[in-house]
Structure 1
Amino acid sequence: MVKFGIIGLGKVAHKFAHDLALVDGCVLQAVGSRNLKKARKFATEHQATQFYSSYEEVAADPEIAIIYIATPHVFHFENTMMCLHAGKAVICEKPFAMNLEEVEIMIQTAKDKNLFLMEALWTRFIPSTLKVIELMEQNTIGKIHSIQANFGYVATTDPTSRLIARELGGGSLLDIGIYPIFISLLLLGTPVETASIAQLSKTGIDQHCAMLMKFKNGATAILESTFLTMTSNEAALYGSKGKITMQAPFHHTEKIVVEINGTEPYQIASPMIGNGYAHEIEEVKNCLIAGKIESDKMSFINSLELMKTLDLIRSQVNLTY
């Protein structure tokens, strides 16, 4: 039985805990919050064995094998390092950290301590994403020439929200822009050229970010993230023989539409288990049982290349934290 701990008990943590109960061989051992009442309520709702009023107590629980970190972006590095130094494996929400240097330190520490570490980028494990990869490997739509993907909605303007507050790593790029970027890197590799523009708020976070990328094989990606308007939230892959559309919301879609040139489109349904987090939990469980320190699907290299790209875009749009 793989025993999990959770620190940072917001909305995503609730979804993760719900799905954890759906995965055989996994159990929620303990949860931690700075607010003991919140921790107690969360533990009761999700049948956790223990609850604590500090993250450090979760990391010190001898029963726990791995800790899921769902705190705001700016705390990912600090929380991950604390858990690793306490001898715990870690699955940390995206973005993995705030910059490449932090990610490099986290990964090196995991290697030095022989502990499993993975960025919790759930899109990588969603059945529809795996199906798209399979279709590409089968050359279903031929050579990919372009990816167009966007993620946008009208976000809160509350200056204390983690989405808006600069001190909490706010902005569309790290919160939702990471998804169209990730799907492009996953399918096309690391970009060889990237050009970005953004609309910054008065507080210095990006409200809107547009990116154009070129890849080694000549393919391009046109990507967008925004807190200012609702976009289609789809990802479209254009190939020499046709088109694949990952329907909204593409980052955890359950429907793909395939359109081969000159033929009628057809739909592929790929249902998720629970909220969609069960698939990454299953991967984590299997990696721990196998004694791995990284996932083949969401490897250290994957996280490093993703953060390199995010850092480059931030430098181009003058987004600093």
Structure 2
Amino acid sequence: MSGTKAEPVRWGILATGGIAASFTADLLDLEDAQVTAVGSRSPESAKRFAERFGIPRSYGGWAELAADDELDVIYVATPHAAHRAAAGLCLEAGRAVLCEKAFTLNAREADELIGLARSCDRFLMEAMWTYCDPVIRRMSDLIHDGAIGEIRAVHADFGLPGPFDPGHRLRDPVQGGGALLDLGVYPVSFAHLLLGEPAEVRARAELSPEGVDVNTGLLLGWDSGAVALLSCSITADTPMTAAVTGSAGRIEFPRGFFSPERFVLHRPGRDPEEFTAPDGLRSYQREAAEVMRCLRAGERESPLVPLEGSLAVMRTLDAARAEIGVRYPGEDHGRSPAGG
């Protein structure tokens, strides 16, 4: 990356959907960030997006965006089936990359992408904002310090009521649809943050006529005896809460655990203790701020969102999909369905 710490980090946005718009809007509110270019497979879509957010340059192709030497980092906001192709193109062009979750379609693609980033000597990070949240980090510190003893159980869920019609990306196998990769990645990542990669993965799901999961439950187990009970759905408005129970107390998150404003620590014989967010930033801003901190420090990955952790989460999601019988087009042939 060029420039000094006083200069803004120059961002490119790859894709123009709802997530890209939300990220861009939040990025524009950061003084040390500059949205310089946007790229889409549709020139018209890229131009409209650029006009909407006052972005100087728009490109009607991923390769053109990736080739822009005035960009420090590119945010990949495509559906996850295209992450391997889009992020890989940017890395090969010499750009740092922030790639939306789920990191890729499967662990094989995640491993390829991580290997590519390292061979190109470029920064890569999954956009798992939960790991960048100061409330989540405070929880991790408390647990590490023994505040609730040894973790025995984790509970977390994330569900949307829908209904989503058959043409929606969440029900499209070609785009990696289903509840697990889009929503379940949050509860799974939450459990991984606390306990690491599980020794055992069990799952059960209802599948749509298209063959994607619409209502899924997971039971993860660790050699320590700890378990995680997780669920995700695109057919039900779940509580979206989380709890971590230890041998000496528990921590509870209210609705929206994946981007929390607070949590409550409960310990026997003590009054409940509430912890809140100290920084006033929004979730997209926190992950963007971590990317910019890493770039300015010359780091090739974030210590908050390590690449091996993202790969481990993808292995767990792969194991869950194997249990419920969800496979995406092209997986049997060793290629991404959205590659190219």
> TM-score, with normalisation over the residues of structure 1?
0.96
Q: 1:95-128, CA deviations, whole angstroms, 9 ceiling, x for partnerless residues?
A: 1111111111111111111011111111111122
For the residue of structure 2 that corresponds to 1:251, the secondary structure is coil
Which of 301, 306, 316 is residue 309 of structure 1 equivalent to? 316
Give the distance between the partners of 1:193 and 1:99, measured in 2 at CA: 18
Q: Which residue of 1 aligns with 2:14?
A: 7
Contact 2:163-2:235 at 8 Å conserved across structures? no
Q: Which residue of 2 aligns with 1:173?
A: 180
Q: Which residue of 2 aligns with 1:297?
A: 304
Q: Which residue of 2 aligns with 1:269?
A: 276
For the residue of structure 2 that corresponds to 1:207, the secondary structure is strand
Give the distance between the partners of 2:220 and 2:195, measured in 1 at CA: 10
Give the distance between the partners of 2:281 and 2:296, measured in 1 at CA: 23
Give the distance between the partners of 1:320 and 1:163, measured in 2 at CA: 14
Q: Which residue of 2 aligns with 1:195?
A: 202
Matching of residues 12-51 of structure 1 within 5 Å: 12-51=19-58
Cα RMSD for the two superposed structures: 1.5
- Gaps (5+ residues) in structure 1? none
- The alpha carbon displacement at 1:254 in A equals 0.6
- 1:163 alignment partner AA: L
Mean Cα displacement is larger for which, 263-272 or 44-53?
Answer: 263-272
- The alpha carbon displacement at 1:258 in A equals 1.6
Matching of residues 1-321 of structure 1 within 5 Å: 1-270=8-277, 273-321=280-328
Q: 1:267-291, CA deviations, whole angstroms, 9 ceiling, x for partnerless residues?
A: 2221664541111111111111122
Q: 1:120-165, CA deviations, whole angstroms, 9 ceiling, x for partnerless residues?
A: 1111111221121122122222221110111112123311111111
- 2:268 alignment partner AA: N
For the residue of structure 2 that corresponds to 1:252, the secondary structure is coil
Q: 1:10-53, CA deviations, whole angstroms, 9 ceiling, x for partnerless residues?
A: 11111211222233422111011233333233223323221122
Give the distance between the partners of 2:236 and 2:108, measured in 1 at CA: 33
- 2:47 alignment partner AA: R
- 2:26 alignment partner AA: D
For the residue of structure 2 that corresponds to 1:288, the secondary structure is helix
Give the distance between the partners of 1:311 and 1:93, measured in 2 at CA: 18
For the residue of structure 1 that corresponds to 2:171, the secondary structure is coil
Q: 1:293-313, CA deviations, whole angstroms, 9 ceiling, x for partnerless residues?
A: 111111111111111111111
Mean Cα displacement is larger for which, 304-313 or 150-159?
Answer: 150-159
For the residue of structure 2 that corresponds to 1:181, the secondary structure is helix
Give the distance between the partners of 1:274 and 1:158, measured in 2 at CA: 34
For the residue of structure 1 that corresponds to 2:51, the secondary structure is helix
- The alpha carbon displacement at 1:186 in A equals 0.5
For the residue of structure 1 that corresponds to 2:305, the secondary structure is coil
- Gaps (5+ residues) in structure 2? 1-7, 329-340
The percentage of counterpart residues that share the same residue type is 37
Q: How many matched pairs?
A: 321
Mean Cα displacement is larger for which, 274-283 or 117-126?
Answer: 274-283
Give the distance between the partners of 2:261 and 2:12, measured in 1 at CA: 28
